[in-house]
Amino acid sequence: MSVVTLKRWNISMGAGQPLAVIAGLNVLENVDLALEVGRQLKAITAELGLPYVFKASFDKANRSSITSYRGPGLKDGLAMLAEIKAKLDVPIATDIHEVDQAEPVAAVADLVQIPAFLCRQTDLIVAASRATAAAGGWLHVKKAQFIAPWDCKNIVHKAREAAPDLQIVLCERGASFGYNNLVVDMLGIAQMQSLGVPVTIDATHAVQLPGADPRTAGGSTGGRREGVPIIAKAAVAAGADGVFLEFHPEPDKALCDGPSCLPLSDAAGLLRTLKALHGVVRG
């Protein structure tokens, strides 16, 4: 389906719809910070008339170092997300890493996300598809850095064989280009849309420099924060249906992926520009 809808929230993404915004924190640090970020992003997107989904991870299971901060974990993290959802009155997005997480996460999150590294894990796709479809949510699958856009047809087929009524969204987030670098092929957005699904751009993770953070001598992922607006604008100009962005009031103090996230103060200006670009592209 080229358009997906969260009926409870009366928001849609895809052909003929406003630019969807999936944005928030990389990882949950505490409820107060999440509420601060979510409240500001909700106000900005409401003013712009853009559908908004708050995003934060309860666990970052693929950190470069075993000593890196991962988040509060499944139980405490879902409790925090449920509190944020209730207080802000917004839909929630978060990612899963294991089959057993699918049902409890889909009970709280309106958008269940599959990390790029895991998009070919059949059991995870099947479990997430069934749980998400049963809950009436969206499954947001990030395209792995090592697969071509047209190979995402296998992801879509797996998901829909598991749950024919599933609403699935694909996400572009760059492809590996040599060591410690990613590039985004904007032609891939239309190629993935040709599979009959909306496509988002994860501009935050597209500027990562995996395993190349000079602050930790490669013990964490680096990034080029200044590239996030460039990638986001280029992808919207190429026809992306939604944007995935991560913000922090003080990015250099973020507990995960600080080099790739934007200052919260940049959100209003960037989203205003992205809305204008989307309007031009969609005519």
Question: For position 158, which CATH number holds?
Answer: 3.20.20.70
Place of tokens 């900005």: 44
What is the C-alpha to C-alpha distance for residues 54 and 67, in angstroms, rounded to an integer? 27
Range of the domain at 190: 3-282
What are the helix and strand counts (H, E) for the chain?
A: 9, 15
Where residue 13 falls (left for φ over 0; alpha for ψ -120 to 50; beta otherwise) is: beta
- Residue 257 is a catalytic residue: yes
Q: What are phi and psi of 165, to 5 degrees?
A: -95, 10
Number of domains in the chain: 1
Query: What does the mean pLDDT of the chain come to?
Result: 92
42, 60, 143, 233: the catalytic one is: 60
Q: Which two tokens stand for residue 161?
A: 């064989």
3-state secondary structure of 246: strand
**Considering only CA atoms, which of 92, 106, 76, 115 is closest in space to residue 37?**
92
Burial classification of residue 266, based on how many CB atoms lie within 10 Å of its CB (0-12 exposed, 13-18 middle, 19 or more buried): middle
- pLDDT tens profile 64-89: 667 676 778 999 999 999 999 999 99
- pLDDT tens profile 12-64: 999 999 999 999 999 999 999 999 999 999 999 999 999 999 999 998 777 56
- Residue 143 is a catalytic residue: no
**Considering only CA atoms, which of 142, 200, 153 is closest in space to residue 14?**
200
The pLDDT assigned to 106 comes to 98
- Residue 154 is a catalytic residue: no
Q: Give the pLDDT mean for 174-187.
A: 88
95, 142, 257, 275: the catalytic one is: 257
As a whole number of Å, the end-to-end CA separation of the chain is 21
Give the rounded percent of residues in the chain with a pLDDT score beyond 90: 80
